[in-house]
Amino acid sequence: MMKTDNPQKLRADRVWLSEETCDLDDFRRVAQKTTALVDYPNASAVEKNVLIYDSRKVTAAATGEGKRLVLAEICEAFGEGPGVVVFKQAYEDTGIIDRASAIFEAIIEEQHRTWTGGGDHFAKPGANDRIWNSLEKHCLADPENFAEYYGNAIIALASEAWLGPSYQMTAQVNRVNPGGAAQSAHRDYHLGFQSSAVIEQFPAHVHRLSPVLTLQGAVAHCDMPLESGPTLFLPHSQTYVPGYLALKRQEFRDYFEANHIQLPLEKGDIVFFNPALFHAAGTNRSADIKRVANLLQVSSAFGRAMETVNREKMSARLFPALKALRDRLSPEEIANAVAACAEGYSFPTNLDRDPPLGGLAPKTQAQLMREALGEGWSDETFTAVLAEQAQKKLS
């Protein structure tokens, strides 16, 4: 390309990124960085450039004054660090995972029986089974298991570290059957789901914004040895700003093919990663492992989630379960379950009917649920007030 010293042209090149100006040498410089364990004092190891955390250790460190330190460390691990973190044994009690797997299996069987379930944006029919919006389906099917599952400290810690409070949880199950082929390298929602023609219409700061609007996670529902095809990652690739466009070019895809890494997971591990990290599900070469992961997509309070979730319906279903579990779950676990279920942000709303009394922001669904749990409301009262609040937010 022609070099220019025309200031208007230089500005336009800064603001408008293009597929054509992506440079493999620039990319190589960021993707070849090494993750140094010394920079992450709460981590246990670096394996293939990925940070490994012992969940019990990091949860213990994230109490009291230590919490801000741990959140900051994890935040930078997703940001300028490798962009991908494995939390080993995030579920010490894998019985919680097994119960959830049984619920998912029943939902998949029902989808097969009724020919519902629809298509998949990344795979051929039959190679895998998807449960879209597994979050809501899980909660409605078994709210007690949902509470234990999403009461998990690591899910809350990673989500808060990257997105701050009031995040919006969504989830989808992916079961890749033996023979299921690898996905092609991609970035995730938002810009990762658009064509170059669309992506090029967004100014550069939106390319930087997209990765902070969501966090990707995967809960391993079974042991995933390499032959079963756990996710392929390219650590540090999230820091290449024009990466949404670069991935449309063959040389960058070839670089991914040659340099990606893959780590085996055990049931109960959770991997979280920056949505701008280059990644792809692997090929399932095993004879008999149905590789099951619950894919978490956590959205910022300020973003639009990909899926519609009926949080009012979920909250009404979860409320009695949380009351029943009060002796078994800690207050933090209950708060985590509420955060994964109820809407945590005040807006959008109808300010005529839902004025911000006593503050700048009207009460959220999550605040209402916490209040009702604290004051021991009856299920009927909670459901009625919940419906009234939802009604007020409509125009």
Binding residues for Fe ion, rule CB under 5 A, total 1
Residue closer to Fe ion by CB (options 234, 322) is 234
Q: Please, what is the minimum distance in Å from the beta carbon of residue 188 to Fe ion?
A: 5
- Tell the burial category of 278 from Cβ atoms under 10 Å away from its Cβ (0-12, 13-18, 19+): buried
Give the span between the Cα atoms of 77 and 35, in whole angstroms: 9
Residue of 78, 120, 69 whose CA lies nearest to 298: 78
Q: Cβ-count burial of 307 within 10 angstroms (0-12 exposed, 13-18 middle, 19+ buried)?
A: middle
Tell me how far, at minimum, the Cβ of 232 lies from Fe ion, in Å: 10
* CA atoms of 394 and 171, how far apart (whole Å): 25
CB 350 within 8 A of CB 394: yes
Q: Which residue, 73 or 188, has its beta carbon nearer to Fe ion? A: 188
| Cβ closest to Fe ion, residue 236 vs residue 393 | 236
Q: From the CB of 135, what's the least distance to Fe ion, in Å? A: 17
In the complex with Fe ion, which residue's Cβ is closer, 58 or 185? 185
Of 81 and 275, nearer to Fe ion (C-beta) is: 275
Radius of gyration (C-alpha) of the chain in whole angstroms: 22
Tokens of 56: 């019990």
β-strand pairing of 168-176 with 84-88:
unpaired
**The tokens of 323 are what?**
């009351």
Residue nearest Fe ion by beta-carbon distance: 188
Residue 280 beta carbon to Fe ion: minimum distance, rounded to whole angstroms: 7
Residues 141-180: x/- map of binding to Fe ion (CB under 5 A)? ----------------------------------------
Can you tell me whether residue 270 is helix, strand or coil?
strand
Nearest-approach distance from CB 185 to Fe ion, in angstroms: 9
List the interface residues with Fe ion, window 173-192 (CB under 5 A). 188
Minimal distance, residue 16 CB to Fe ion, in Å? 26
In angstroms, the first-to-last Cα distance of the chain is 52
Of 148 and 188, which CB lies nearer to Fe ion in the complex structure? 188
343 is a contact residue toward Fe ion (CB under 5 A): no
Site for Fe ion in 71-90 (CB under 5 A): none
What span, in angstroms and rounded, lies between the C-alpha atoms of 131 and 6? 52
Q: Could you list the residues that contact Fe ion (CB under 5 A)?
A: 188
